[in-house]
C-alpha cells in the first residue's frame, strides 16, 4: 500500500533538530539540576520577594529570572521542575502507549469478543470528563508523582487504543496478512512480525504527542494543586502561583509557560520528524 505521503517532500531536518536540541537541553537541565541551579529551589526569603529578572532595574545578582512572592528563585525552580515534567512525560507516555496499543492491536486483529469488550470499555471511558476523572483519581490515590502517572495512563490509554485499533483493522485487510497465513504463520506471529511494523510509525507519532499531553496534564493537575506537594517545584505549580501575582511579577508566570510551550511543541515536532526520517515507506 503506497499512498501520496511518499511523494510529499518536506524538509523535516530543521524541525527535528531544533526540537531534539530543546528536549536535549531540558533533559540535561533535569539530570544535572542540583549542579547547575544557581539557588536552592525551596529556599524562601521574603526580603527577596518578587525580584525582577536580571536585565531589569531592581534585580539582585544570582537571581537570573527573578523570584516569586516567597522569594524563591524562578530559574532554579524551573530547572528542578524540568525533572518532574520529563519524568511524567517519559513514564506516563511510554506506559500509556504500551497499554493502549496492546489493547488496540488485540482488538483490531482478533476482532470478535475481544474487540467488543475493548470497544465498549473505550466508549464508557470517553464519556467521562477527563479532567474530573483525573481529579477524582488523585483524590482517591493521594497526591504524588506516581499518582499523577497512574492518572494519565488510566485516562489516556483510549487515545492509543482507538487509533491503533483502527490502523490494525486497516492493515489486517491487506493481502500480506493473507500471505502470512499461506506461509503458515501463527496468528500471534502474524500480528507481531507483519502487522506491528506497519502500526509502529503511528504509535511512535502518538507517543511523542502523548508525552506533550502528559506534560500539560501534569501542569493542569499542579495548577489545581493535585500534582505533587505544593512546595515542590513544577511548571504547572509555578504558573498557578504566578497567576496570583501576574500584575506585580509577570516573570513567575511567563518563563515556566514558555518552557512548557516549547517542550510540548518539541515533542510533537519530534514525533513527525522521527516518522519522516525512519519510516522506510516515507523515505
Interaction site with another protein (CB under 8 A) = 1-2, 6, 174-176, 178-179, 181-187, 193-194, 197-198, 200, 279-281
Q: How far is the CB of 174 from another protein (least distance, A)?
A: 5
Q: Which is nearer to another protein, 100 or 201 (CB)?
A: 201
Q: How far is the CB of 282 from another protein (least distance, A)?
A: 10
Q: Which is nearer to another protein, 64 or 110 (CB)?
A: 110
Q: How far is the CB of 271 from another protein (least distance, A)?
A: 18
Q: Evaluate whether 111 touches 99 at the Cβ level (below 8 Å).
A: no
Q: How far is the CB of 176 from another protein (least distance, A)?
A: 4
Q: What is the DSSP letter of 203?
A: H
Q: Which is nearer to another protein, 2 or 140 (CB)?
A: 2
Compute the residue count for the chain: 283
Cβ neighbourhood burial of 25 (10 Å; 0-12, 13-18, 19+) = middle
Q: Evaluate whether 216 touches 152 at the Cβ level (below 8 Å).
A: no
Q: Which is nearer to another protein, 127 or 182 (CB)?
A: 182
Alpha-carbon distance of 245 to 31, in angstroms, equals: 30
- Closest-CA residue to 41 (of 78, 7, 10): 78
Q: How far is the CB of 194 from another protein (least distance, A)?
A: 6
Q: Which is nearer to another protein, 196 or 245 (CB)?
A: 196
**Bridge-partner residues for 73, per DSSP?**
67
Amino acid at each position: 500500500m503506497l499512498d501520496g505521503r511518499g511523494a510529499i517532500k518536506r524538509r523535516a531536518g530543521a524541525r527535528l533538530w531544533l526540537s531534539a536540541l530543546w528536549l536535549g537541553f531540558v533533559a540535561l537541565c533535569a539530570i544535572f539540576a542540583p549542579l547547575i541551579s544557581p539557588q536552592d529551589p525551596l529556599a524562601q526569603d521574603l526580603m527577596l520577594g518578587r525580584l525582577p529578572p536580571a536585565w531589569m532595574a531592581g534585580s539582585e545578582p544570582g537571581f537570573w529570572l527573578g523570584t516569586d512572592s516567597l522569594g524563591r528563585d524562578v530559574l532554579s525552580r524551573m530547572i528542578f521542575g524540568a525533572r518532574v515534567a520529563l519524568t511524567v512525560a517519559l513514564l506516563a507516555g511510554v506506559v500509556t502507549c504500551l497499554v493502549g496499543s496492546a489493547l488496540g492491536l488485540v482488538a483490531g486483529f482478533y476482532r470478535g469478543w475481544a474487540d467488543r469488550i475493548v470497544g465498549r470499555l473505550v466508549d464508557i471511558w470517553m464519556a467521562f470528563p477527563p479532567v474530573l476523572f483525573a481529579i477524582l483519581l488523585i483524590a482517591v490515590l493521594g497526591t504524588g508523582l506516581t499518582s499523577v502517572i497512574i492518572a494519565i495512563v488510566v485516562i489516556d490509554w483510549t487515545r492509543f487504543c482507538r487509533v491503533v485499533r483502527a490502523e490494525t483493522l486497516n492493515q489486517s485487510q491487506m493481502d500480506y496478512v493473507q500471505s502470512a497465513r499461506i506461509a503458515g504463520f501463527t496468528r500471534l506471529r502474524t500480528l507481531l512480525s507483519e502487522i506491528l511494523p506497519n502500526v509502529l510509525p503511528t504509535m511512535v507519532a502518538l507517543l511523542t504527542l502523548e508525552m506533550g499531553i502528559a506534560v500539560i496534564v501534569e501542569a493542569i493537575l499542579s495548577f489545581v494543586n493535585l500534582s505533587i506537594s505544593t512546595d515542590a517545584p513544577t511548571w504547572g505549580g509555578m504558573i498557578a502561583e504566578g497567576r496570583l501575582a501576574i500584575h506585580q511579577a509577570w516573570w513567575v508566570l511567563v518563563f515556566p509557560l514558555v518552557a512548557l510551550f516549547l517542550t510540548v511543541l518539541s515533542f510533537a515536532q519530534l514525533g513527525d520528524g522521527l516518522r519522516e526520517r525512519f519510516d522506510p515507506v516515507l523515505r
